[in-house]
């Protein structure tokens, strides 16, 4: 990790840059795969699964027998852990379900808004080096609470041609039975355009690497909604002398182990914290099974010493991290100054892993600086909010002068007449 002490503000933009691919080459590759899937459907999915996952598939969909085999293979302690996490996630997200409130904006003019679940949604669950079955809970539970009538899931198969048992068990536990063995760009294309097996959906959710993120953005430009442009995972930590360096190091490594394109950032007011965290990172990294991935991510990561808490918050808001951990004194007071972050973790005993798995908050969050404008996934992500209104005769009569004056001023006489003709016939 690179140590930077007291950087000038005019250097922050360069200092806080994320790792990036050449997007021109990336878009060309992704666009070609999407076009192939759109034109050739299941045949293209099988070809790309053989090419990228090294698996030849006869059937793309997961059978009932495979769900049963997953249930038998998964150990009870993990099932219990998933049940616990699901209960907390459901409790947190159920509180987000809106009731319909009718307002009378003036006598005889009633307006209200009703949340309606998006009919068809697609969930993408990455496989690769780690089966992210926890993401199923984060997406399927709010989708069900929102009232989505059709939920499909795409995830890459393992080398044996099967989906990881925990992925299938979590899917069925949350009510998903339509699971397809396809990953990466081709999975996004399948859900965006539909194939012989995979149905077309109206909105696509789920994290992924740069290729998946690019695919989501490209299909979004063609009319398919997406949750957000979420890319490689990241964490920022603010720590002062009240932190526990071993905890901070563990938090940094918990994100670094996601992959080589992840990034972690420590901002601190204490040079002693930097030294202690560096020492702990080295010790803990050596013991990790995924240390090669973490080590590569650490090459893109920084430890930054700043002069005071004000400068720290300015820098962190400029970075707009996916996850922000506040391991410091008076964390709740300082947290009121957070403007840009996906999810915030307060105190020495709030690891980012809690939000990743089981505290109840959602872990599908904006990355790459998008926390300046995007929220994490919630029940709201799975609904459309439709407005309604009803005007009585008296309500229209009272509102008519304002409507007629505004329509005339804009030169839209048909708009004016839609009101005038009613008033004349009352």
pLDDT digits (tens, 9 = 90+) for 307-317: 999 999 999 99
* Edge-to-edge strand list for the sheet holding 178-181: 178-181, 150-155, 120-124, 203-205, 225-226
Task: Flag whether 164 is marked binding.
Answer: no
Q: Using DSSP bridges, classify how beta strands 263-268 and 120-124 pair: parallel, antiparallel or unpaired.
A: unpaired
In the numeric block, which tokens belong to residue 190? 């399948």
For residue 304, what are the contacts with CB-CB under 8 A and spacing of at least 6? 3, 4, 5, 7, 15, 265, 266, 267, 268, 315
User: Per-residue pLDDT tens for 247-274?
Assistant: 999 999 999 998 788 889 999 999 999 9
- Asked if 125 and 398 count as a contact pair (C-beta separation under 8 A), the reply is no
Task: Flag whether 356 is marked binding.
Answer: yes
User: Per-residue pLDDT tens for 125-167?
Assistant: 998 667 889 999 999 999 999 999 999 999 999 989 999 999 9
Cβ–Cβ contacts within 10 Å for residue 63, how many? 10
Across 188-201, average pLDDT? 98
State the virtual CA torsion across 90, 96, 102, 104 in degrees, nearest 10.
Answer: 170
Distance of CA 223 to CAs 202, 311, 381, Å? 9, 41, 16
Can you give the pLDDT at residue 128?
65
Cβ–Cβ contacts within 10 Å for residue 315, how many? 20
pTM of the model: 0.93
Can you give the pLDDT at residue 399?
98
- Asked if 230 and 364 count as a contact pair (C-beta separation under 8 A), the reply is yes
How does residue 21 score in pLDDT terms, banded at 50, 70 and 90? low
User: Per-residue pLDDT tens for 361-413?
Assistant: 999 999 989 999 999 999 999 999 999 999 999 999 999 999 999 999 999 99
In the numeric block, which tokens belong to residue 221? 């430009």
Can you give the pLDDT at residue 143?
98
| Closest by Cα among 111, 114, 103, 115 to 390 | 111
- Asked if 96 and 144 count as a contact pair (C-beta separation under 8 A), the reply is no
| Closest by Cα among 198, 153, 177 to 64 | 177
| Closest by Cα among 342, 344, 395 to 373 | 342
State the virtual CA torsion across 102, 376, 318, 252 in degrees, nearest 10.
Answer: 150
Distance of alpha carbon 114 from alpha carbon 387, whole angstroms: 6
CATH 3.40.50.300 fits 23-101+118-226, yes or no: no
Can you give the pLDDT at residue 164?
94
H-helix or E-strand containing 265? strand 263-268
Is the pLDDT reported for residue 358 higher than 90? yes
Distance of alpha carbon 358 from alpha carbon 138, whole angstroms: 10
Can you give the pLDDT at residue 260?
81
Is the pLDDT reported for residue 18 higher than 90? no
| Range(s) within the chain of domains with CATH label 1.20.5.1300 | 392-424
Can you give the pLDDT at residue 315?
98
Is the pLDDT reported for residue 349 higher than 70? yes
Distance of alpha carbon 12 from alpha carbon 302, whole angstroms: 12
Fold designation for 2-19+232-360 = Rossmann fold (3.40.50)
Averaged pLDDT score across all residues of the chain: 95
Can you give the pLDDT at residue 131?
83
Question: How many percent of the chain have pLDDT more than 70?
Answer: 99
| Range(s) within the chain of domains with CATH label 3.40.50.1980 | 2-19+232-360, 23-101+118-226
| Closest by Cα among 2, 5, 3 to 269 | 5
In the block, residue with structure tokens 């929220």: 375
H-helix or E-strand containing 248? helix 245-256
Task: Flag whether 58 is marked binding.
Answer: no
Can you give the pLDDT at residue 262?
86
How does residue 230 score in pLDDT terms, banded at 50, 70 and 90? confident
- Asked if 132 and 125 count as a contact pair (C-beta separation under 8 A), the reply is yes
How does residue 208 score in pLDDT terms, banded at 50, 70 and 90? confident
The catalytic residue positions are 322-323
Can you give the pLDDT at residue 129?
63
In the numeric block, which tokens belong to residue 255? 């994100």
Task: Flag whether 363 is marked binding.
Answer: no
CATH class of 392-424: mainly alpha
Total residue count of the chain as it appears in this document: 426
Can you give the pLDDT at residue 209?
83
Is the pLDDT reported for residue 423 higher than 70? yes
Task: Flag whether 210 is marked binding.
Answer: no
Strand partners, 346: 326
| Closest by Cα among 262, 266, 252 to 305 | 266
């Amino acid at each position: 990790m690179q140590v930077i002490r007291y950087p000038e503000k005019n250097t922050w933009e360069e200092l806080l840059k994320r790792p990036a691919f050449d997007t021109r080459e990336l878009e060309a590759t992704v666009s070609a795969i999407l076009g192939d899937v759109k034109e050739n459907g299941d045949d293209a999915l099988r070809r790309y699964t053989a090419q990228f996952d090294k698996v030849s598939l006869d059937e793309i969909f997961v059978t009932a027998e495979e769900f049963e085999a997953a249930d038998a293979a998964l150990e009870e302690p993990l099932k219990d852990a998933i049940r616990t996490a699901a209960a907390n996630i459901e409790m947190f997200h159920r509180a987000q379900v809106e009731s319909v409130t009718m307002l009378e904006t003036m006598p005889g003019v009633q307006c209200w808004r009703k949340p309606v679940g998006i009919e068809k949604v697609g969930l993408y669950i990455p496989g690769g080096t780690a089966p992210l079955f926890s993401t199923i809970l984060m997406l399927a539970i709010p989708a069900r609470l929102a009232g989505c009538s059709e939920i499909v899931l795409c995830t890459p198969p393992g080398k044996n041609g099967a989906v990881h048992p925990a992925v299938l068990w979590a899917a069925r536990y949350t009510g998903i039975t339509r699971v397809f063995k396809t990953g990466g760009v081709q999975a996004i294309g399948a859900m965006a355009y539909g194939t012989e097996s995979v149905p077309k959906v109206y909105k696509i959710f789920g994290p992924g690497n740069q290729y998946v993120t690019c695919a989501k953005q490209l299909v979004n430009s063609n009319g398919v909604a997406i949750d957000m442009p979420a890319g490689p995972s990241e964490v920022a930590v603010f720590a002062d002398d009240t932190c526990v360096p071993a905890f901070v190091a563990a938090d940094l490594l918990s994100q670094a182990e996601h992959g080589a394109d992840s990034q972690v950032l420590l901002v601190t007011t204490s040079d002693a914290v930097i030294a202690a965290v560096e020492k702990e990172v080295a010790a803990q990294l050596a013991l990790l099974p995924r240390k090669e991935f973490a080590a590569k991510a650490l090459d893109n990561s920084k430890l930054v010493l700043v002069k005071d808490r004000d400068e720290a918050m300015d820098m962190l808001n400029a970075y707009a991290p996916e996850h922000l951990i506040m391991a410091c004194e008076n964390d709740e007071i300082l947290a009121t100054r957070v403007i840009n972050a996906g999810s915030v973790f307060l105190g020495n005993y709030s690891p980012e892993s809690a939000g990743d798995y089981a505290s109840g908050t959602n872990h599908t969050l904006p990355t790459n600086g998008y926390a300046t404008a995007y929220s994490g996934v919630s029940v709201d992500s799975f609904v459309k909010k439709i407005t309604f209104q009803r005007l009585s005769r008296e309500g229209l009569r009272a509102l008519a002068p304002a409507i007629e004056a505004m329509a005339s001023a804009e030169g839209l006489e048909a708009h004016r007449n839609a009101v005038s003709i009613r008033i004349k016939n009352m």
